[in-house]
Each structure stands twice: as C-alpha cells, then as structure tokens.
Amino acid sequence: MAEISINSHYFLGKLTIIRNCLSLLAKDKSPERKKLVKMAYDTNQELIDQVKEAAKNV
C-alpha cells in the first residue's frame, strides 16, 4: 500500500472545517439528508482520528 506524507496541521485544519460545516448541516430535519450528513461526518471524523494518530508518531 502506498503511503503519503502530509502536513498534519494543514490537513486537520481542512478536516475541521468540513466537520464544522457537517455539524451545522446535521441540524437539517430531513431524515434522508440527515443520514447522508452523518455518513460524511463519521467518515471525516475517521480521517481526523487517523491524522491525529499519525501525528503522535512523528
């Protein structure tokens, strides 16, 4: 598997923006949209956790 080198500060900054936007969108009352936003939010959160974990080992 190919590995990528990233700047954790930059990457986390961008992921944090997405997280915040999704968090605000999650207030939408439509169940279908809510489900999609939750999927995007959870996936984004996984990326944040991965980057944080990687940053610990640097």
Partner 1 sequence: MKQKDKNGQKRILIIEDEQYLRELYQEILEDEGFIIETASDGMDGYVKMAKGGYDLILLDVMLPRMDGLELLAKLRKGPKPKKTNGPIVLLTNLSKDMAISKGKTLGISGYLIKSDLTPGEIIEKVKGYLKIKI
**Binding site residues, partner 1, CB under 8 A:** 8-9, 12-13, 15-17, 19-21, 23-24, 48, 52, 55-56
Alpha carbon distance 45, 6 (integer Å): 17
Contact 38, 2 (CB under 8 A): no
Q: Nearest distance from residue 29's CB to partner 1, in Å?
A: 17
Q: Which is nearer to partner 1, 1 or 56 (CB)?
A: 56
Residues 16, 20, 25, 31, CA torsion sign: positive
Q: Nearest distance from residue 9's CB to partner 1, in Å?
A: 6
User: What phi and psi, each to the nearest 5 degrees, are found at residue 4?
Assistant: -120, 150
Q: Nearest distance from residue 35's CB to partner 1, in Å?
A: 18
